Amino acid sequence: MHGQDVRLDQNKTHKELVRLWENQNTIDLRAEQLVQVYAGAFQAIESRCLATLSRVTINVVIDRVLHIGSEKFQILSLITIEPSGLSLKNLIQNIKKYKTEEIRNALSYFLVEFLTVVGNITSDVLTASLHKKLVEVTRESALSILEVQSLRSINSTNKKRGEE
């Protein structure tokens, strides 16, 4: 296979895996829950990437995928990069402006493209482990992890105010 053929084949593999993962974990969710499940997937994949790649490299990949993806999916322009990584805060704040299917399509695109770019820059060395991380994320695990993080954030805010 030529270089372009390999890239198309890997992109197809990423799409198929993401579609399978979505069918198992994102069907019949409200928009807020959908974003939380994708956030859990991004967090797991990003965490695995950090074992090999630098934060700067990961942020450059995220920025590239968001820049290109925003032309196709305006929703992606609401996702930002913070020093700690991907931030979906703006998307969550504006979630009511979009249909659930629009959100799903945009986040699916982002996930596939992120996996593709990371695969390309690492000659697919990380592909198998990133796929493994993705399929380990379930709707239940993502929603419960994010619920615990939200509670910690609320408790932290209350402590700063002197409440408990």
- Give the pLDDT of the chain (164 residues) as one tens digit per residue: 444 444 446 668 999 999 999 999 999 999 999 999 999 999 999 999 999 999 999 999 999 999 999 999 999 999 999 888 889 999 999 999 999 999 999 999 999 999 999 999 999 999 999 999 999 999 999 888 755 454 444 344 435 545 44
Contact 164, 61 (CB under 8 A): no
Instruction: Please report, to the nearest 10 degrees, the dihedral formed by the alpha carbons of residues 159, 35, 10, 64 taken in order.
Output: -70
Separation of alpha carbons 125 and 133, rounded Å: 14
